[in-house]
Amino acid sequence: VIAGQPPASPDDAGLLREGDAVLLIDRKQRVYMRTLRPGSRVSVRGRPILAEALIGRPDGSTLRTERGETFLVLRPTYAELIPHLPRRAQPIYPKDVGIVLLWGDIGPGMRVIEIGVGPGALTLGLLRALGTTGTLVSYERREEFAAAAQENVRRFHGPAPNWMVRVADAALGLVEIGVDRIVIDVPEPWTLLDSVATSLRAGGVLTCFLPTVLQVKQLVDSLTAHDGFAAVRTIETLLRHWDVSGRSIRPAHRMVAHTGFLVFARRLAPGVRAAELTPRRPYSSASTDDDIASTELEHDEGGDPRQDLGED
Ligand X SMILES: C[S@@+](CC[C@H](N)C(=O)[O-])C[C@H]1O[C@@H](n2cnc3c(N)ncnc32)[C@H](O)[C@@H]1O
> Site residues (CB under 6 A) for ligand X?
89-92, 115-122, 139-142, 145, 169-171, 185-186
Instruction: Kindly provide the b/e burial profile for residues 263-275, where b requires at least 16 CB atoms within 10 angstroms of the residue's own CB.
Output: bbbbbbeeeeebe
Look at residue 20 and give its three-state secondary structure. Answer: coil
DSSP summary character for residue 100:
H
Task: Output the smallest distance, CB 138 to ligand X, in A.
Answer: 9
Task: Output the smallest distance, CB 57 to ligand X, in A.
Answer: 31
Expressed in angstroms, the distance from the first to the final Cα of the chain is 51
Pick the closer one to ligand X by CB: 113 or 274.
113
Task: Output the smallest distance, CB 111 to ligand X, in A.
Answer: 18
Task: Output the smallest distance, CB 252 to ligand X, in A.
Answer: 24
Pick the closer one to ligand X by CB: 42 or 148.
148
Q: How far apart are CA 192 and CA 263, in angstroms?
A: 14
Give the contacts of 308 (CB within 8 A, at least 6 positions apart).
Answer: none
Pick the closer one to ligand X by CB: 20 or 114.
114
Pick the closer one to ligand X by CB: 98 or 282.
98
143-156 helix and 121-130 helix, angle to the nearest 10 degrees: 50
Positive or negative, the Cα torsion across 160, 166, 169, 170?
negative
Pick the closer one to ligand X by CB: 118 or 134.
118
Based on the number of CB atoms within 10 Å of its own CB, is 245 exposed (0-12), middle (13-18) or buried (19 or more)? exposed
Q: How far apart are CA 253 and CA 64, in angstroms?
A: 31
Residue nearest to ligand X (CB): 118
Look at residue 249 and give its three-state secondary structure. Answer: strand
- Tell me which amino acid residue 44 is: V
Pick the closer one to ligand X by CB: 2 or 92.
92
Pick the closer one to ligand X by CB: 113 or 265.
113
Q: How far apart are CA 245 and CA 269, in angstroms?
A: 54
Q: How far apart are CA 289 and CA 295, in angstroms?
A: 10
Task: Output the smallest distance, CB 186 to ligand X, in A.
Answer: 4
Task: Output the smallest distance, CB 254 to ligand X, in A.
Answer: 22
Task: Output the smallest distance, CB 178 to ligand X, in A.
Answer: 20
Residue 70's φ and ψ, nearest 5 degrees, are -110, 130
Task: Output the smallest distance, CB 5 to ligand X, in A.
Answer: 18
Task: Output the smallest distance, CB 90 to ligand X, in A.
Answer: 5
Pick the closer one to ligand X by CB: 52 or 169.
169
Q: How far apart are CA 36 and CA 51, in angstroms?
A: 6
C-alpha gyration radius of the chain = 23
Q: How far apart are CA 82 and CA 95, in angstroms?
A: 11
Pick the closer one to ligand X by CB: 20 or 185.
185
